[in-house]
Structure 1
């Protein structure tokens, strides 16, 4: 354990393990848990009662293996460290999601103790360094005893809530001779998943994405589909270079598919969740303003919208037409707009929206196809 620097007596002691003492932190002689039952009759399994999944971060990170992917230098390590601190302390993840406290193991396999201290000092701010956060910069690859070392740490920390492996490539080990790329990827994640499932703990495997983008964020995960296929959930963080805002895409077995808009505060080293749907933060301010208004007042005309948000009528009218063409808005009778998926205003017949009747409150006899 490193001591506070002499010139910074106010800095809290950090629970850091380096190359020389990683074995002491991770190793252990405890026995593994008893083998878990893996087969039942249909009648047996329907008669069983299961506890709900344990969440490290409710709605985002559940027990099992979670792939956290993104381009290099997008902020994955800052996010991982921040989540580790929040869960260890029992604070609010992303500044808004309450989390229960519990021990966290963060394997920072590309960092040094000095870099960890600098980053941790920024992330903590005025908060006290959590004794429940174990940091290590060395761990054997999973096939060469890394899985047993992590299991031993979990044995010593039975209330652990999360294990973070940053980056997974450092721990996956070599592929079996003759294995296909898909089988090798699936087996690598599967080895981590075995430990995560045995202990009911959320594992976060930090990984990269391909250089080429895609409309389907799952296909951006670097490697074969075996990685995402073996994982319980996949999270992809996207952020334009030199921009503070990002989008976290999530899908998985126990988590609902979702997108969260986030902002990275470089001064605090913190990712914070933004209000409203992610789509509001991926479009221009005028479109976002119109969407927010229509969520509270569906079926409004451009004139009503313009008055409500304080924008010019011509600007709102043109923007609504473009949003309709882009599928961001739906239109009802007489140029009344609403957010797609929001039911039309009851009792109002639905007519087609044309260039002639757009903005006309009287409607038309032409029906919407």
Structure 2
């Protein structure tokens, strides 16, 4: 690794021979050998949300991606709870805050931490070479020095993706750009989070909102899209990937603490109006409930309950069942 690839406090100017080590990793089996092999479970940095491998975290500008990233970095480095609800194991974390200054990072950490001590297991850097031009080696060197490392966050990915190969298609260029990070993640079994942007135009498919071609999401092991939400939540985190089930999480942002909080229940509970949310909660607890029972259980007006339940059924938020209602894919409701 060249001197220009060295990140003070992150790597070292000594060369890191990744390739010889990587060649010892087995990549082929006969079918019976593969079926007989035993593999460890994926290592989760944030269980159910961020697993080992490349995690592409995308969202619109100013939605709070950097607050979310820094909060997760602090939580995983210190151990305890991430997003105020998810138990995480502690371990070293590298946070490359490439659009921030040291002063701004200090201000943000002071707000997030409050009276809690800053974890010495979190390394922060505000500059790093592009991945193809020495950044990969710098990150790998840091991981080598922290063998129990749990996560690396690159905020933002555009600052480190580097130049595309001449003549490469846009898809191939995007795929190759993520591939640099994936090589590190797979080699060390570590979670790498690439913070990215979404397109200005929305889409029903959250994967289609990721800025760039499908090569980005295709090369990543998981894609997370943070979107602004309506109703009681401030955001919804859409998650899908190879080792994580497709899920939606409702989040609330607390500006005074700079903290994102994972809300209890499904995202639908918090992204619809209060009336629908009350009905949904009651039906979930009382499958097959009829409008009269919902009226009595929620205290809502009978006409409002009948009208809202009918509209929720038309919107596939409820299923009609034997004169009553059920929640799709729950309580025996088929959806």
TM-score by length of 1: 0.85
Tell me if the contact between 1:261 and 1:274 (Cα under 8 Å) persists in the aligned partners. yes
- Contact kept, 8 Å, 1:28 with 1:152, in 2: the verdict is no
Pairwise CA distance, 1:344: 6.1
SS at match of 1:228: helix
**C-alpha distance in structure 2 between counterparts of 1:102 and 1:25, whole Å:** 15
User: Equivalences for 1:104-183 in 2 at 5 Å?
Assistant: 104-183=93-172
Match for 2:10 among 20, 25, 29? 25
Distance between the aligned counterparts of 1:180 and 1:251, measured in 2? 25
**Which of 16, 34, 41 pairs up with 2:21?**
34
> Partner of 1:339 in structure 2?
327
1:61 aligns to what?
50
**Do 2:229 and 2:236's aligned partners in 1 also have CA atoms closer than 8 Å?**
no
Matched, 1:296 2:281: no
Measured after TM superposition, the shift of residue 155 of structure 1 is 0.3
Q: Is the 8 A contact 1:23 1:139 kept in 2?
A: no
Q: What do the CA deviations read for 1:250-284 (whole angstroms, capped 9, x no partner)?
A: 00000000000000101110100111100111111
Query: Which of 248, 251, 255 is the aligned partner of 1:259?
Result: 248
Q: Is the 8 A contact 1:299 1:344 kept in 2?
A: no
Higher relative contact order (CA 8 A, sep 6+): 2
CA distance in 2: counterparts of 1:228 and 1:291, whole angstroms: 33
Alpha-carbon distance in structure 1 between the residues aligned to 2:239 and 2:142: 28
Deviations 1:196-224 (A, max 9, x none): 11000000000000000000000000000
Helix, strand or coil for the counterpart of 1:34? helix
1:331: Cα distance to partner?
1.2
Q: Which deviates more from structure 2 when the two are superposed, residues 250-259 or residues 317-326?
A: 317-326
Q: Among residues 265, 269, 274, which one is paired with 2:258 in the alignment?
A: 269
Is the radius of gyration larger for structure 1 or structure 2? 1
In 2: Cα distance, 1:104 partner to 1:307 partner: 51
| Structure-2 separation of matches of 1:191 and 1:214 | 28
Q: Could you tell me which of 193, 201, 206 is aligned with 1:212? A: 201
Contact 2:233 2:250 in 1 (8 A): no
Q: Deviations over 1:175-200 (max 9, x none)?
A: 00000000000000001100011000
CA distance in structure 1 between the partners assigned to 2:89 and 2:143 by the alignment: 17
> 2:78 corresponds to which residue?
89
User: 1:240 deviation in Å?
Assistant: 5.1
Aligned to 1:74: 63
After superposition, what is the alpha-carbon deviation per residue over 1:137-182, rounded to whole angstroms, capped at 9, x for unaligned? 0101011110000000000000000000000000000000000000
Unaligned runs of 5+ in 1: 1-18, 346-369
Provide the secondary structure at the position in 2 that maps to 1:26. Answer: coil
* CA displacement at 1:23 relative to structure 2: 3.5
SS at match of 2:152: strand
| 1:227 correspondence with 2:216 | yes
Report how far residue 27 of structure 1 moved: 2.6
CA distance in 2, matches of 1:112, 1:317: 55
User: What whole-Å deviation, never above 9, does each CA across 1:224-248 have from its counterpart, x for those lacking one?
Assistant: 000000000000000159x961000
Contact 1:332/1:344 (8 A) holds in 2: no
State the Cα distance separating 1:28 from its structure 2 match. 4.5
Contact 2:58 2:198 in 1 (8 A): yes
| CA RMSD after TM alignment | 1.8
